[in-house]
Chain A
Amino acid sequence: MNILEVNHLNIHDIHIGEPIVKDISFDLQQGQCLAIVGESGSGKSVTCRSIMKLNPSSLQQSGSIVFQGIDLNTLTDQQMRKRRGKQIGMIMQNGMSAFDPSCVIGTHLRETLGQHYGWNRSKIDERMHIAMHSVMLNHPDRLMNRYPHELSGGMLQRIMIALTLVLEPDILIADEPTTALDMLSQQEVMAQFIRLRHTLGCSMIFISHDLGAVRHIADHILIMKDGKVIERGETEQLFTAPRQEYTRDLLSARFALDNHFRQLMERKEG
């Protein structure tokens, strides 16, 4: 069963009239993970934000987005807001800027959970503590009272994952969730993502430049270029037998880079 169907999505900038996303269609099955891959500026983030109807009003979108059988275009702002976070969740690329810098972390968590569940403070704290422990964050009570700048990017990313664990969305959109992290934190956060998928059994849209991670987590892949989908397919099939020249280049460039990097590291160690 498809949990999300995107049909003929077009997005253009009303100021310059330039199309940004051109006639994209895809669907996402219950419990599956779809990866979107493509060069910078190809429209991945704009596409994801359009699913949550969070693009600025200067970007106009047409086409239908059907979530659990309901066309999101028919929903009121209020109904859409209730679905954000609770049913369609999002993990941001940069944890450092994802939280209000002048409030402690706990503020965002309490506001969000209070909004969706109406829980009181102690209930929220109790549930957040359990979730934070499960993503390997120690001393949750102390973390709740820390400001974003006092924590590392990896910790903030895991706090977002912990919040998602409590919210249990049906779809999770992760827009380059590990790009801003160092290698070690990348691995830790990826491990948490894989666990999150198993725990919640939620569907996922995963944007990443890290093809290794994509191969690991995604069932299907969508390759985007200049606002268009140029290739799609099951992960293994796409990695082993890409049909498009562009995809082949993308994969080989990536692996060439990986190999180069590995050689450098070996030389350094050797």
Chain B
Amino acid sequence: MGMYIIRRMLLAVPLLWAISLLTFILINLSPMDPAVVVLQAQGVPSITDELIERTQQQLGLDQPFLVRYLNWMLDCLQLDFGNSYITGQSVWALIGPAFLNTLRLTLVSAVSIIAVSVLLGVLCALQAGRVLDKSVRTLAFILTAIPSYGLAALLVWYFSVRLDLLPTSGMDSYRSYILPVLIITISYAGLYFRNVRSSMLSNMNKDYVLYGRASGLPERVITMHILRNSLQVAISIFCMAIPIILGSTVVVENVFAWPGLGSLSIRAILSRDFPVIQAYVLILAVSFVIFNAISDMINAAMNPKLRNGL
């Protein structure tokens, strides 16, 4: 198992490198000249060619592509993502706290999504075809079909405005988490509980379940075996889901004015703040790779067949 972890981590290194290169290339493909963006942000009235050239020199944009990439990557390794073109602040000072806020929201949501999907998935599988199963699936279908900003508006109106129970925005106390987490949970758990359910159902028809029953094992023990095998699929889905949620909290963050990555990235994109966008994309990509590796490791721990596969 130890060897597996080491091999799996080594595998992530080239992937991370490729991601960094791709991020850098994509941003450099943008038709906007960064120097112009900076000058506009400083409110310079007339932008001359001479001025642009000078700014390019300051930003190091006159150097060849590879040199710029190497400098940028070495800086990134030390968590130095440069300075925002707009505010002049260091990007890390902007993005670090925002990342933590989003991560907090994501992890709390992930825990809630896992709890809800496993619970509903297992219940529906055990009751497959009965009323409970059918009504949960119908309800989930309807709820996931509503776009999350619509759902957010509805819930804010009811809980915050009409009942005045919960805050409408910000991140002040645990109560600020309730609505955003609820909305993210509804949109994801409504999808993921189906994976748990179908994985449970396919395991229930396996030979080992029949042999367990034929050996006289009680249903309780057999259900534990089914769960153990079904959750493998679920766990890898959940680990993959974490970075997806991380990248898709944009809507919820904007509705609730959550001081996270989503809000920050929208602002950066609208004002063409390239260093911030670059850092945002890189951070998301890196968390994808990391969570993917973690999910593989958990799977290998649970499924001995996979360990020799790498």
Contact = CB atoms under 8 A, between A and B. Distances in A.
Interface of A: 49, 52, 54, 81-86, 89-90, 92, 94, 97-103, 108, 111-112, 115-116, 147, 149, 160, 163
Contacts of A86: 216
B229 A100 contact: yes
A90 B214 contact: yes
Contacts of B229: 100-102
A103 B213 contact: no
24 contacts: A54-B213, A54-B214, A81-B218, A84-B213, A84-B214, A84-B215, A84-B216, A85-B216, A85-B217, A92-B214, A94-B207, A98-B207, A99-B208, A99-B211, A100-B228, A101-B229, A102-B303, A108-B215, A111-B215, A111-B217, A112-B215, A112-B216, A115-B215, A115-B217
Nearest to A81: B216
Given A52-B214, A84-B215, A115-B218, A97 B207 contact: yes
Given A81-B216, A85-B215, A115-B218, A98 B208 contact: yes
Interface of B: 206-208, 210-218, 221, 225, 228-229, 232, 302-305
Contact of B214 (A85, A101, A111, A147): A85
Nearest to A88: B214
Contacts of B216: 81-86, 112, 115-116
Contacts of A149: 304-305
A92 B207 contact: yes
What 5 A-B pairs are tightest by C-beta distance, nearest first?
Answer: A85-B216, A90-B214, A97-B207, A84-B216, A85-B215
Interface centre among B214, B215, B218 (most CB of A within 10 A): B215
Nearest to B232: A102
A147 B217 contact: no
A115 B221 CA distance: 10
Contact of A92 (B211, B303, B305): B211
Contacts of B211: 90, 92, 98-99, 108, 160
Most chain A CB within 10 A, of B212, B228, B303, is at: B212
A36 to B, nearest CB: 17
A252 to B, nearest CB: 33
A89 B213 CA distance: 10
Contacts of A160: 211
A111 B221 contact: yes
Contacts of B210: 49, 54, 92
A92 B294 CA distance: 37
A101 B207 contact: no
A160 B215 CA distance: 10
A101 B215 contact: no
A181 to B, nearest CB: 15
Contact of B305 (A84, A100, A101): A101
A100 B208 contact: yes
Contacts of B232: 102
Contacts of B208: 97-101
A89 B211 CA distance: 10
A269 to B, nearest CB: 37
B252 to A, nearest CB: 36
Given A89-B214, A108-B212, A115-B216, 6 more contacts: A86-B216, A97-B208, A98-B208, A100-B225, A147-B304, A163-B215
Nearest to B231: A102
B263 to A, nearest CB: 42
Nearest to A87: B216
Contacts of A83: 216
A12 B38 CA distance: 77
B283 to A, nearest CB: 34
B80 to A, nearest CB: 45
A90 B207 CA distance: 12
B225 A103 contact: yes
Contacts of B221: 111, 115
A86 B81 CA distance: 68
A112 B217 contact: yes
A32 to B, nearest CB: 21
Contacts of B207: 92, 94, 97-98
Contacts of A85: 214-217
A111 B62 CA distance: 72
Contacts of B228: 100, 102-103
A98 B207 CA distance: 5
A121 B217 CA distance: 17
Contact of B302 (A92, A97, A102, A116): A102
Contacts of B218: 81, 115
Contacts of B206: 97
